[in-house]
Amino acid sequence: MSSSAPNHALEFPGGYTRSVGPVIGRFLTELRDGRLVGVRTASGRVVVPPTEYDPEDGSAVTGEFVEVGPDCTVESWSWVPRPRRSHPLQRPFAWALIRPDGADTALLHALDLGVFEEGAKPPRELRTGMRVRPKWRSERSGGIGDIECFRPDIAMINDSRRTEYHLPPGRALERFLEGIAEGRFLGHRCGVCGKVYVPLKGLCPVDGVPTTEEVEVRDTGTVTTFAVNNIPDPRAPEVPFVSAYILLDGSDLAMLALVAGVPADQVRMGMRVRAEWRPREEWGATMANIKWFAPLDEPDVPFAAIKDHL
Protein backbone atom coordinates (compact mmCIF):
# COMPACT_ATOMS: atom_id res chain seq x y z
CA MET A 1 0.00 0.00 0.00
CA SER A 2 1.19 3.51 -0.70
CA SER A 3 2.64 5.34 2.28
CA SER A 4 0.29 8.29 1.89
CA ALA A 5 -2.87 8.49 4.01
CA PRO A 6 -5.67 6.16 2.82
CA ASN A 7 -8.45 7.77 0.78
CA HIS A 8 -11.00 5.01 1.43
CA ALA A 9 -11.98 2.90 4.45
CA LEU A 10 -14.24 -0.14 4.83
CA GLU A 11 -16.08 -0.08 8.14
CA PHE A 12 -19.48 -1.17 9.41
CA PRO A 13 -20.89 1.74 11.43
CA GLY A 14 -21.28 0.73 15.07
CA GLY A 15 -19.73 -2.68 14.41
CA TYR A 16 -21.41 -5.86 13.19
CA THR A 17 -23.67 -7.69 15.63
CA ARG A 18 -23.30 -11.46 15.64
CA SER A 19 -25.20 -14.07 17.63
CA VAL A 20 -22.83 -16.65 19.07
CA GLY A 21 -25.11 -19.62 19.77
CA PRO A 22 -24.95 -21.96 22.78
CA VAL A 23 -21.47 -23.42 22.27
CA ILE A 24 -19.38 -20.34 21.52
CA GLY A 25 -21.65 -18.42 23.91
CA ARG A 26 -20.84 -20.78 26.77
CA PHE A 27 -17.11 -20.46 26.11
CA LEU A 28 -17.28 -16.66 26.05
CA THR A 29 -19.42 -16.56 29.21
CA GLU A 30 -16.94 -18.76 31.08
CA LEU A 31 -14.12 -16.61 29.72
CA ARG A 32 -15.77 -13.51 31.12
CA ASP A 33 -15.93 -15.25 34.49
CA GLY A 34 -12.26 -16.19 34.35
CA ARG A 35 -12.48 -19.83 33.28
CA LEU A 36 -11.27 -21.68 30.19
CA VAL A 37 -13.60 -24.45 28.99
CA GLY A 38 -13.66 -26.90 26.12
CA VAL A 39 -16.49 -28.98 24.72
CA ARG A 40 -16.43 -32.77 24.60
CA THR A 41 -16.99 -34.46 21.24
CA ALA A 42 -18.91 -37.71 20.77
CA SER A 43 -15.54 -39.47 20.43
CA GLY A 44 -14.47 -38.10 23.83
CA ARG A 45 -11.98 -35.46 22.72
CA VAL A 46 -12.05 -31.98 24.24
CA VAL A 47 -12.10 -29.14 21.70
CA VAL A 48 -10.80 -25.71 22.74
CA PRO A 49 -11.95 -23.19 21.70
CA PRO A 50 -15.25 -25.04 21.36
CA THR A 51 -17.03 -25.42 18.04
CA GLU A 52 -20.52 -26.79 17.46
CA TYR A 53 -19.01 -29.65 15.46
CA ASP A 54 -16.11 -32.06 15.85
CA PRO A 55 -13.35 -30.67 13.60
CA GLU A 56 -12.32 -34.28 12.87
CA ASP A 57 -15.55 -35.50 11.27
CA GLY A 58 -18.11 -32.71 11.49
CA SER A 59 -20.39 -34.56 13.92
CA ALA A 60 -22.28 -32.54 16.54
CA VAL A 61 -20.45 -32.13 19.85
CA THR A 62 -21.97 -33.24 23.16
CA GLY A 63 -23.35 -30.68 25.61
CA GLU A 64 -20.58 -31.42 28.11
CA PHE A 65 -18.22 -28.56 28.86
CA VAL A 66 -14.94 -29.29 30.59
CA GLU A 67 -12.78 -26.81 32.44
CA VAL A 68 -9.25 -26.87 31.04
CA GLY A 69 -5.96 -25.16 31.88
CA PRO A 70 -4.87 -22.78 33.26
CA ASP A 71 -1.60 -24.62 32.57
CA CYS A 72 -1.01 -24.81 28.83
CA THR A 73 1.64 -25.99 26.38
CA VAL A 74 2.92 -24.08 23.33
CA GLU A 75 2.50 -26.27 20.23
CA SER A 76 3.90 -23.84 17.65
CA TRP A 77 4.91 -20.20 17.59
CA SER A 78 5.90 -17.34 15.37
CA TRP A 79 7.88 -14.30 16.50
CA VAL A 80 6.82 -10.79 15.53
CA PRO A 81 9.85 -8.46 15.68
CA ARG A 82 7.82 -5.45 14.47
CA PRO A 83 4.21 -5.52 15.65
CA ARG A 84 1.45 -4.12 13.48
CA ARG A 85 -1.03 -1.58 14.73
CA SER A 86 -3.70 -4.30 14.72
CA HIS A 87 -1.65 -6.60 16.96
CA PRO A 88 -2.56 -7.04 20.64
CA LEU A 89 0.92 -6.05 21.87
CA GLN A 90 2.86 -3.09 20.56
CA ARG A 91 6.29 -4.52 21.36
CA PRO A 92 7.87 -7.73 20.00
CA PHE A 93 5.87 -10.80 21.00
CA ALA A 94 4.97 -14.28 19.81
CA TRP A 95 1.84 -15.70 18.29
CA ALA A 96 1.34 -19.19 19.64
CA LEU A 97 -0.88 -22.19 19.31
CA ILE A 98 -1.55 -22.99 22.94
CA ARG A 99 -3.03 -26.29 24.16
CA PRO A 100 -4.55 -26.09 27.64
CA ASP A 101 -4.01 -29.11 29.88
CA GLY A 102 -7.09 -31.30 29.50
CA ALA A 103 -7.74 -30.22 25.90
CA ASP A 104 -7.00 -32.08 22.66
CA THR A 105 -6.75 -28.98 20.45
CA ALA A 106 -4.98 -25.66 20.71
CA LEU A 107 -6.13 -22.06 20.62
CA LEU A 108 -4.35 -19.13 19.04
CA HIS A 109 -3.24 -16.27 21.24
CA ALA A 110 -0.49 -13.77 21.85
CA LEU A 111 2.39 -14.80 24.08
CA ASP A 112 4.13 -12.02 26.02
CA LEU A 113 7.78 -12.76 26.83
CA GLY A 114 8.65 -9.38 28.29
CA VAL A 115 10.21 -6.20 27.00
CA PHE A 116 12.20 -6.32 23.77
CA GLU A 117 13.41 -3.65 21.41
CA GLU A 118 11.72 -3.44 18.04
CA GLY A 119 13.36 -5.83 15.58
CA ALA A 120 14.56 -8.18 18.33
CA LYS A 121 15.35 -11.79 17.47
CA PRO A 122 13.23 -14.58 19.01
CA PRO A 123 14.31 -15.04 22.65
CA ARG A 124 15.94 -18.35 23.45
CA GLU A 125 13.33 -19.37 26.02
CA LEU A 126 10.62 -19.27 23.33
CA ARG A 127 10.24 -22.93 22.44
CA THR A 128 7.63 -25.42 21.37
CA GLY A 129 6.65 -27.28 24.53
CA MET A 130 7.00 -24.16 26.67
CA ARG A 131 4.52 -23.99 29.57
CA VAL A 132 2.33 -20.92 29.75
CA ARG A 133 -0.75 -19.53 31.51
CA PRO A 134 -3.32 -16.92 30.56
CA LYS A 135 -3.08 -13.36 31.85
CA TRP A 136 -6.67 -12.31 32.54
CA ARG A 137 -7.89 -8.77 32.21
CA SER A 138 -9.43 -7.43 35.38
CA GLU A 139 -12.44 -6.06 33.43
CA ARG A 140 -13.84 -8.79 31.16
CA SER A 141 -16.66 -8.56 28.65
CA GLY A 142 -16.97 -12.02 27.09
CA GLY A 143 -14.50 -11.95 24.17
CA ILE A 144 -11.31 -13.78 23.30
CA GLY A 145 -9.53 -10.59 24.37
CA ASP A 146 -10.61 -11.19 27.99
CA ILE A 147 -7.31 -13.00 28.05
CA GLU A 148 -4.86 -10.17 27.53
CA CYS A 149 -2.16 -12.61 26.49
CA PHE A 150 -0.40 -15.72 27.75
CA ARG A 151 2.78 -15.64 29.83
CA PRO A 152 5.44 -18.26 30.48
CA ASP A 153 5.48 -20.17 33.73
CA ILE A 154 7.98 -18.89 36.23
CA ALA A 155 11.22 -20.78 35.62
CA MET A 156 13.69 -18.26 37.06
CA ILE A 157 13.71 -15.40 39.47
CA ASN A 158 16.12 -12.51 39.78
CA ASP A 159 17.68 -12.48 43.21
CA SER A 160 19.03 -9.01 43.86
CA ARG A 161 20.76 -8.76 47.19
CA ARG A 162 23.18 -6.29 48.71
CA THR A 163 25.27 -6.73 51.81
CA GLU A 164 27.70 -4.09 52.96
CA TYR A 165 31.23 -4.39 54.38
CA HIS A 166 34.36 -2.56 55.41
CA LEU A 167 37.19 -4.64 53.99
CA PRO A 168 40.80 -3.83 54.83
CA PRO A 169 43.13 -4.71 51.97
CA GLY A 170 45.59 -6.30 54.36
CA ARG A 171 49.15 -5.18 54.83
CA ALA A 172 50.59 -6.77 51.71
CA LEU A 173 47.91 -5.54 49.36
CA GLU A 174 47.94 -2.11 50.98
CA ARG A 175 51.68 -1.88 50.26
CA PHE A 176 51.13 -3.09 46.68
CA LEU A 177 48.44 -0.44 46.11
CA GLU A 178 50.76 2.24 47.55
CA GLY A 179 53.09 1.31 44.71
CA ILE A 180 50.25 1.41 42.17
CA ALA A 181 49.33 4.88 43.47
CA GLU A 182 52.85 5.92 42.38
CA GLY A 183 52.71 4.07 39.07
CA ARG A 184 54.90 1.18 40.24
CA PHE A 185 54.36 -2.60 40.38
CA LEU A 186 55.80 -3.99 43.59
CA GLY A 187 56.52 -7.62 44.34
CA HIS A 188 58.27 -9.79 46.90
CA ARG A 189 61.11 -12.18 46.23
CA CYS A 190 61.02 -15.44 48.19
CA GLY A 191 64.15 -16.00 50.21
CA VAL A 192 63.92 -19.76 49.66
CA CYS A 193 62.93 -20.37 46.02
CA GLY A 194 63.84 -16.95 44.65
CA LYS A 195 60.56 -16.47 42.83
CA VAL A 196 59.12 -12.96 42.55
CA TYR A 197 55.43 -12.54 43.33
CA VAL A 198 53.49 -9.57 41.93
CA PRO A 199 51.28 -8.44 43.58
CA LEU A 200 53.30 -8.99 46.69
CA LYS A 201 51.67 -11.26 49.23
CA GLY A 202 54.02 -11.19 52.17
CA LEU A 203 54.55 -14.91 51.86
CA CYS A 204 55.60 -17.53 49.37
CA PRO A 205 52.72 -19.90 48.64
CA VAL A 206 55.19 -22.52 47.39
CA ASP A 207 57.52 -22.58 50.37
CA GLY A 208 55.09 -21.32 52.98
CA VAL A 209 57.54 -18.75 54.32
CA PRO A 210 57.12 -15.01 54.90
CA THR A 211 58.65 -12.75 52.27
CA THR A 212 60.02 -9.26 52.84
CA GLU A 213 62.43 -8.45 49.99
CA GLU A 214 60.63 -5.83 47.90
CA VAL A 215 61.22 -5.84 44.15
CA GLU A 216 59.88 -3.41 41.58
CA VAL A 217 58.98 -4.88 38.19
CA ARG A 218 58.15 -3.17 34.91
CA ASP A 219 54.66 -2.51 33.60
CA THR A 220 55.28 -4.63 30.52
CA GLY A 221 54.55 -8.32 30.30
CA THR A 222 53.35 -11.33 28.34
CA VAL A 223 49.88 -12.85 27.94
CA THR A 224 50.10 -16.43 29.18
CA THR A 225 46.44 -17.35 28.62
CA PHE A 226 43.20 -15.46 28.10
CA ALA A 227 39.42 -15.65 27.77
CA VAL A 228 37.03 -13.81 25.45
CA ASN A 229 34.09 -12.48 27.50
CA ASN A 230 30.69 -11.78 25.99
CA ILE A 231 28.96 -10.51 29.10
CA PRO A 232 29.27 -6.73 29.54
CA ASP A 233 31.58 -5.48 32.29
CA PRO A 234 31.71 -1.82 33.36
CA ARG A 235 35.52 -1.93 33.39
CA ALA A 236 35.78 -3.19 29.79
CA PRO A 237 35.57 -0.80 26.83
CA GLU A 238 33.24 -3.03 24.79
CA VAL A 239 31.84 -6.53 24.30
CA PRO A 240 33.42 -8.91 23.58
CA PHE A 241 36.42 -8.10 25.73
CA VAL A 242 39.46 -10.09 26.78
CA SER A 243 40.58 -10.96 30.28
CA ALA A 244 44.08 -12.38 30.41
CA TYR A 245 46.74 -13.68 32.74
CA ILE A 246 49.73 -11.40 32.30
CA LEU A 247 53.21 -12.34 33.40
CA LEU A 248 54.89 -9.02 34.15
CA ASP A 249 58.54 -8.87 33.15
CA GLY A 250 60.51 -9.79 36.25
CA SER A 251 57.60 -11.53 37.96
CA ASP A 252 57.09 -15.29 38.31
CA LEU A 253 53.32 -15.23 38.90
CA ALA A 254 50.83 -14.17 36.24
CA MET A 255 48.25 -11.54 37.18
CA LEU A 256 44.65 -11.27 35.92
CA ALA A 257 43.87 -8.09 33.94
CA LEU A 258 41.93 -6.80 30.93
CA VAL A 259 43.52 -6.65 27.48
CA ALA A 260 42.21 -4.03 25.04
CA GLY A 261 43.34 -1.92 22.12
CA VAL A 262 43.22 -5.02 19.91
CA PRO A 263 40.25 -6.96 18.49
CA ALA A 264 39.34 -9.84 20.79
CA ASP A 265 39.98 -12.42 18.08
CA GLN A 266 43.57 -11.18 17.63
CA VAL A 267 44.75 -11.72 21.20
CA ARG A 268 47.34 -14.55 21.42
CA MET A 269 49.16 -16.54 24.03
CA GLY A 270 52.67 -15.10 24.18
CA MET A 271 51.55 -11.63 23.08
CA ARG A 272 53.55 -8.73 24.55
CA VAL A 273 51.56 -6.03 26.38
CA ARG A 274 52.02 -2.87 28.46
CA ALA A 275 49.80 -1.35 31.15
CA GLU A 276 47.63 1.50 29.89
CA TRP A 277 47.63 3.98 32.82
CA ARG A 278 44.95 6.57 33.38
CA PRO A 279 46.15 10.20 33.58
CA ARG A 280 48.33 10.65 36.67
CA GLU A 281 45.97 13.22 38.22
CA GLU A 282 43.28 10.50 38.44
CA TRP A 283 45.50 8.02 40.32
CA GLY A 284 44.64 6.64 43.74
CA ALA A 285 45.55 3.53 45.73
CA THR A 286 43.52 1.37 43.38
CA MET A 287 43.96 -0.98 40.41
CA ALA A 288 41.57 1.34 38.52
CA ASN A 289 44.73 3.42 37.77
CA ILE A 290 45.33 0.85 35.02
CA LYS A 291 42.60 0.84 32.38
CA TRP A 292 43.89 -2.36 30.79
CA PHE A 293 46.92 -3.81 29.06
CA ALA A 294 47.46 -2.90 25.39
CA PRO A 295 49.61 -4.68 22.80
CA LEU A 296 53.28 -3.80 22.40
CA ASP A 297 54.85 -3.83 18.96
CA GLU A 298 57.20 -6.70 19.86
CA PRO A 299 57.47 -10.30 18.65
CA ASP A 300 55.44 -12.88 20.61
CA VAL A 301 57.19 -14.83 23.35
CA PRO A 302 57.63 -18.53 22.44
CA PHE A 303 55.38 -20.98 24.22
CA ALA A 304 58.34 -22.62 25.99
CA ALA A 305 58.96 -19.37 27.88
CA ILE A 306 55.48 -19.22 29.37
CA LYS A 307 54.49 -22.87 29.68
CA ASP A 308 55.57 -23.07 33.32
CA HIS A 309 53.35 -20.12 34.21
CA LEU A 310 50.03 -21.58 32.99
Q: Which residues bind another protein (CB under 8 A)?
A: 1-2, 6, 8-10, 16, 18, 20, 24, 28, 47-49, 51, 55-56, 75-81, 84, 86-88, 95-99, 105-110, 119, 121-122, 128, 143-145
Q: Give the nearest distance from C-beta 34 to another protein in angstroms.
A: 17
Q: What count of other Cβ atoms lies within 10 Å of the Cβ of residue 29? A: 13
Least gap, CB of 55 to another protein (angstroms): 4
What minimum distance in Å lies between the beta carbon of 24 and another protein?
Answer: 5
Nearest approach in angstroms of CB 118 to another protein is: 11
Rounded distance, CA 259 to CA 276, Å? 9
CB of 119 to another protein, least distance (A): 6
Please say whether the beta carbons of 289 and 183 come within 8 A.
Answer: yes
Q: How far is CA 213 from CA 16, 25, 45, 191, 309, in A?
A: 92, 89, 84, 8, 22
Identify which of residues 18 and 162 has a Cβ nearer to another protein in the complex. Answer: 18
Distance of closest approach, residue 97 Cβ to another protein, in angstroms: 5
How far apart, in Å, are the Cα atoms of 56 and each of 43, 44, 60, 156, 269? Answer: 10, 12, 11, 39, 65
147-160: b (≥16 Cβ within 10 Å) or e: bbbbebeeeeeeee
Residue 107 vs 271, nearer CB to another protein? 107
CB distance 47 to 53 below 8 Å: no
Which CB, 84 or 280, lies closer to another protein?
84
Closer residue to another protein in complex, CB, 79/283: 79
CB 97 within 8 A of CB 74: yes
26, burial (CB in 10 Å: exposed 0-12, middle 13-18, buried 19+): middle
Q: Three-class SS of residue 270?
A: coil
CB of 105 to another protein, least distance (A): 4
- Are the beta carbons of 61 and 54 closer than 8 angstroms? yes
Type and span of the H or E element at 213 = strand 213-217
The CA distances from residue 168 to 136, 171, 174, in Å, are 53, 8, 8
Least separation in angstroms between CB 239 and another protein: 21
Indicate the residue among 33 and 282 with the shorter CB distance to another protein.
33
Rounded to a whole number of angstroms, the minimum distance from the CB of residue 182 to another protein is 52
Q: Answer positive or negative: Cα dihedral of 265, 268, 272, 274.
A: positive
Contact 138, 32 (CB under 8 A): no
Q: Please state whether beta strands 36-40 and 65-68 pair in parallel, antiparallel, or not at all (unpaired).
A: antiparallel
